[in-house]
């Protein structure tokens, strides 16, 4: 009898430790969503200046790379990279940064922002499939239900009552879905490399190779030739880089140390909801009742997935 009690107590302690471990992941990814969302609000201000989206991406990623490098030097973080992982990081940076950015921008050009956002946030569905195939993660009923809830919530939040904003241009839909795949691969690769490297090291190298990939699409000389943005815009872009690459990306990567790729992807899909809330609070944009339903649905999905991880 005493032995059974002791075993039961040990199991409870182990379960408690596992949940506390996962809580760190929930906190890291939740904070990353807040920083990603704040950067989106700042981006809406920068885009009103008429800056070319690809030029904006090149400058932002380059500034982010410099900032992360400075933080690593000051904090004495490791820059060490195993030879066997170099090609993996090259692919990681090209896909996660260059790929997602260029495909997302192309989708906006071919369709519109709302359609591009909807297609980008198909990423959790792709993550579940790829994580099951390559990382042997289980596709549970809870994961499937919460993915559907977040995707429906995203539609309600982004589209609202105006269904006419959805542009089903075939090429645009294809590039948008590919952006979703690239974003899903980001989470997958985080899960793989976080077992061998710290979040700052991973962040630095994906930004390095991501910046190089973007510069193939838009060289620094082309940016100089078309005219550099004014200093006020550069300061805003610097703020964006700080928010998204120093804060959001580092927390996003760190979160996958504690959580499965599928769970992490579901959590970060709450970004559209947080952006809409921030826009309502800080930019005084109107929040429609159908958007509120979408917000509630997405928040409920977060609670359900968190509860399932606790159990």
Query: Nearest 5°: phi and psi at 79?
Result: -100, 0
Cβ neighbours of 13 (radius 10 Å) = 10
What CA–CA distance (Å, rounded) separates 48 from 23?
38
Q: What pLDDT band is residue 1 in, cutting at 50, 70 and 90?
A: low
The closest alpha carbon to 116, from 200, 77, 173, belongs to: 173
| Alpha-carbon distances of 204 from 3, 65, 175, 200, 292, rounded to whole Å | 50, 6, 27, 6, 37
The closest alpha carbon to 57, from 116, 109, 104, belongs to: 104
What CA–CA distance (Å, rounded) separates 116 from 110?
9
pLDDT in tens, 122-174: 999 999 999 999 999 999 999 999 999 999 999 999 888 777 777 888 999 99
Q: 311: which DSSP letter?
A: -
| Alpha-carbon distances of 145 from 126, 129, 165, 272, rounded to whole Å | 14, 14, 26, 19
pLDDT in tens, 245-301: 999 999 999 999 999 999 999 999 999 999 889 888 888 888 889 999 999 999 999
Q: Where are the domains of the chain?
A: 22-139+165-258
pLDDT in tens, 196-225: 999 999 999 999 999 999 999 999 999 999
pLDDT at residue number 181: 96
pLDDT at residue number 131: 94
């Amino acid at each position: 009898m005493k032995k059974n009690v002791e075993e039961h107590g040990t199991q409870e302690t182990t379960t408690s430790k596992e949940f506390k471990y996962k809580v760190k992941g929930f906190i890291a990814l939740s904070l990353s969503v807040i920083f990603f969302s704040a950067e989106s609000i700042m981006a809406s201000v920068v885009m009103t200046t008429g800056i070319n989206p690809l030029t904006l991406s090149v400058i932002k990623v380059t500034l982010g790379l410099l900032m992360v490098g400075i933080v690593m030097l000051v904090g004495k973080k490791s820059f060490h990279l195993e030879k066997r992982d170099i090609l993996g990081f090259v692919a990681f940076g090209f896909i996660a940064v260059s790929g997602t950015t260029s495909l997302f921008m192309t989708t906006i050009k071919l369709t519109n922002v709302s359609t591009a956002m909807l297609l980008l946030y198909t990423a959790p569905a792709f993550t579940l499939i790829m994580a099951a195939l390559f990382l042997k993660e289980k596709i549970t009923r809870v994961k499937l239900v919460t993915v559907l809830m977040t995707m429906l919530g995203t539609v309600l939040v982004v589209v609202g009552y105006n269904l006419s904003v959805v542009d089903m241009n075939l090429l645009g839909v294809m590039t948008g879905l590919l952006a979703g795949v690239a974003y899903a691969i980001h989470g997958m690769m985080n899960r793989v490399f976080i077992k061998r490297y710290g979040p700052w090291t991973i962040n630095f190298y994906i930004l390095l190779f991501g910046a190089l990939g973007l510069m193939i699409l838009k060289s620094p000389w082309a940016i100089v030739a078309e005219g550099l943005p004014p200093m006020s815009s550069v300061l805003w872009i610097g703020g964006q880089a700080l928010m998204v690459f120093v804060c959001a990306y580092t927390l996003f990567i760190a979160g996958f140390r504690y959580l499965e790729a599928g769970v992490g992807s579901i959590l970060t899909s709450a970004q559209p909801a947080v952006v809409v809330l921030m826009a309502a609070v800080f930019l005084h944009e109107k929040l429609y009742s159908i958007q509120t339903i979408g917000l509630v649905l997405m928040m409920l999905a977060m609670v359900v997935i968190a509860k399932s991880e606790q159990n």
